[in-house]
Structure 1
Amino acid sequence: MPRRPPRGTPSLALTEEFSTVYFEEFSIGLDTKGKVTTLAYNNPRINGDNSGPFIRQTSVKGYIGSRTQFTLPSKTGGFNIPTAGATGYIYNGLDYNIETGSNSFSMEGGVQASQANNNFLAYIRVNGRSLVFTDDGNNPGNYPPRYKAGTAYTSNLRYEVSTGKAKYYASGTNVNGVAQNLSFTYSKSFTSTELANMRAKRVLGIGYVDPATGTQNYDGTQDLGVISLNYTSATLLKTDGTTTVNYNTSLLDTDLYNNKIYGTAYWPSSAVTYSPTLGTFLHRANEWIQRPEGLGATCLDDYKSIHV
């Protein structure tokens, strides 16, 4: 999970061309309560495990886009993250060579939840640097481009072969009840061989930064809260730039490198119910109830488990 940038942090280093344009204004679930597995017993280690709990579903190589549709959760049903320093995230991502760091590229696009305002702020991150969206000084926390909880949202991150740019596109309803689109592009050239090694992903999680130290020190024991989501559509984009396929278990990969998992992971296992892998989980009291995502044959039968 990403670390939230401090106020005043520059949005992105201008080492490569990027642009952002606003157009016309217009469960899976996880809970950190109970006994959980600590980092000491996390072997192999999971990349990002100290940043907070998450469900990360990463594709095998050869996919250059992830498009998801869902209804943004709300505090009345879907998320409750009261812990200081904790923030809910829902996003898609692209990864290239993140295991070795050699000419690596990582981009994420989605939303982050606001516990105080019961809405969602647009979230975009490129190579570890976040684009900071500024609130209106007269109405902080309740001003576009924040999105309204309980409304439909489309999140689409992909590499466009024809333009040589990574593009994030989102559409939904802002806090004023008006349709709102957002588009962000980042110039980065990849050869066909490099694209064949790219991976796409979707992530649901709670990022945690210790308020006392300002560091990411989640170890699997902190009680942070709960967030749940029901994807109504989720597809991956192939390297030809036009063919899409549904997320399914055969296309997921742990991406294990030097005894560390960079891809698909469910962390911590005792706080996240993930079987069947492509199910949606809603939290009710101490019970997890699995509901299908509407992906047809790729979904497995209903599943129920008790979280203690």
Structure 2
Amino acid sequence: MHVVDNACFLQDVGGQAHTRTTNSRHGRKMSDSTRSWLIRSQRARRCSISWTRLQTAILATSDHAAPLKYGSIQDFFNSFSPRLAPKTIRNMHACLRTVLTQGKTWGLVRVNPAQGVRLPRKKARKPPVLLAKQDIRRVIDALPEPTKSIITLMVVGSLRIGEVTALGWERIQPDGIEIVERFYEGEFDDTKTDAGRRSIPLDFHGILRAVLDGTWQRSKHRKPGDLVFTNAKGGPVNRRNLLRRHLKPTIKKLGLPATVDFRSFRTMHSSLMSSAGVRPEVTRDNMGHATVDVTQNVRGGKSEWKL
């Protein structure tokens, strides 16, 4: 959570004098103060599902009627692995630990069960899978719709898979694509990072425009609030189904590395721009990275594109 959100909690719990008076017996409980803090902090969430479960855990542990046990907190965080990234789990733990630490300082709770919890280690990033330019063309040509168009947007436009599945027609402009949200774990949410909220210019070759026009012609859902890529009922497409039914079988049929997935094609955008001599700052903005270093790390260093 952001520092400002923790500050709201401290101000709310501490009151005007910020004393260490125990409020659980006389007036407000820690759970009451925490509820107010959670409402203010919710705007800073990055994953709606993990936020909801974290909120439940904080309220449970902040209420004196609920037992404060190390084991229950450990089980809570164990339940997220390996579905959530280690960094996400660690950020959730940091939030809970901060709340309970301050509650202990002011006498609102006796112990902080979040201390000493074993968290998953940060996994080493696998080296990105880089395909030759001709292999990318083979994959795109062999894919059925809508995966063909989705992959093209990722390679040429640098969109994340969650950004593609959340893309609405109202975000398609004459000269670019506005990225303002993503579809993650079954819910619409903010972009992955602040820098991820961006405008991607259409390419000079007309590839992105052709993909969008073709998708428009095939779609039965064309209202401004409709999604660009939909299932039969107009809802978001299921990326796991597309991966299992379209992308993986195509990769196998073409004899390409089995580890290629949706993320691989976004990585390929960075390498393609580098090999074409595009300035790193332009690629950084297209991909929604905060710094050029992040963009270069995603690419994995030296480009292996075969032109």
Please classify the TM superposition score into its range, dividing by the shorter chain length.
Answer: under 0.3
Quick check: which has more Rg, 1 or 2?
Answer: 2
The structure where strand makes up a greater share of residues is: 1
Question: Which one has more relative contact order, counting CA pairs under 8 Å at least 6 apart?
Answer: 1
